[in-house]
Structure 1
């Protein structure tokens, strides 16, 4: 299959045939010693999700003066073709390429011509420009995987002037329900060269998801008080990477006006790569844009900058903006981190606080939004004391008790706000 186009149009190879004969006349038997057989092959899948349909693509090329290819076999150690869902006449693939060193080129399509059984079918190669048939090959489901069998038509010589082709079987290959797949190609030469065998291994990945686990906490739940603001976030393996995040609140503020560049205002630790890399870091003020905005750098213990993020005071509360650095892929192997902003968050003067986190995915998933509610306590720094001096000739009723003798009496209670209160009666 993977060299079908290399023999396209025997009539187009007349000049190559003449060149071959001419070479034979002048170089005699040395022509074979000057030939070799080293086709370059690549195999790719469009989908690496186990148990899913995927394109199966092949690219193959040869330099000039290599032996022509005679036949090929492609096998795998898993997966299958969806032959039972095919019908005669279905368009199941496409390709393009050139032969004769580039003097002839074109595009072609692959059509189902015969369905022998639920495990075997024949595909025709039809040239797009004139609908002529260039050849055919067989696809099969065999024990343990697939097979693709093809034989090249004879073009009257055994040496190529150079050829290249790309062939794709479109969405008819089912990947196996396993973590890996190996596809092997064996290409045979028309001349007396050993067969070229190449293997291509694929790591299959479960379908990605996006469900980061987030926790937000405060070290101090007293109204109008400084508090640590801490975040914990983690992801399982095979989730989409995070691209950016926004944290907002409906109250409170950062004490940005009291900060200076270089201040250490937090710390954290975490791991990435499923635990293959871990470490601790500090949060250092790198820029103060205004009394309501500052930038914090994330500095590891080697004093290297890992990234930065922005903290702001808004009309309604606070805002934290961050963008994840690119790591060259879109899927995480698992990560976790804990971050604390140390004693720079001022809780609001209210009985409740809501902090909302919005985390965006690198892949096409909806943003993850989580809401955290906190009940805040009134600030009771001092005990409320009161004292009463009463002079009476008879008994005295106070807080449900009757007093008949002189002395000092104490009553402890709480205010409606929950603060301690002490009252003293001098009788």
Structure 2
């Protein structure tokens, strides 16, 4: 998936010094969200590059009804340079692109010479319309995590990294603009280091060190030291238990995090020869894969290692994975071998809104594994697995039943124009 991450199956393979940070006694308490203490979090990622080919803008979150149903919006992504300091991945999309009245949340066009434009100005307008919505800058991602290890390596590098990121994104000091031009756009920071202690993206490869595991915890402590405890500090966390063990001191990490989002998708995909689930709640019977992946496996891995239920937020996908050349077999193509299905942006990957249109072709039939909790469509040769409104409700029940901290969406642009998935998910969450 462009700019984000590949599947977990493709990647399966001491106390802190008191000087780092002082953890308040109530650090594990629930943080008050968009709808108060009793409402489960609904976190959605808005992708920076969606304004191009997808023509998906912040205003779409208003038009679809998504913005009114979110507690948190993560803007993806800010990058790091080789020294570990924060930089923009795309200044044009972030703060330079002018918006017409029709494209704008406020209904007013950007004016010539306006200091702040682009996505950040639209996020500012969104916050004015939904003042309880928290908007966080997400740092890293699949293609932007190369230098996190450098940032976390020493006390000096950690301090410099956090200062650069808070100056740029929280204080709003953007390159080439007046001081504080983007102040107030972002409420907190979401770290998407993929992954401490183990490789994520390999082209080019990430910097990986054995000490990443303890340094990730120290990096969080430095964020709290500089940023305080009144702002969100969250992290995107892997599904693979092996990556959890390689990169995270789980109990310590969660003392610093407001919450952590657990990867609830990409369990299987185009990197596998067999057509298989990519976001099932439980491992389906007869799964031929070498490693067993499911949301249940992921959640249990984090909880058993010390993650508090109330801070464990389960990721859900607004996209699907597909194969073609798949023979029917006994289960409507499930576990049949094939190659990545042709798609809009990336072979084997398609937004929910596009997959849904395939059902208009009467050759495609929908199938569900009610026990494992996932769906797929199949026309006798092409096979797509994805989450529709029925599966979103099932995910919400799983979150409710396990008393988890909420749901996280990757990514909001995959939904239909009327917000079919986000509405089903948010309505079913308690």
**TM superposition score normalised by structure 2:** 0.24
**TM superposition score normalised by structure 1:** 0.24
Q: Which of the two has greater strand per residue?
A: 1
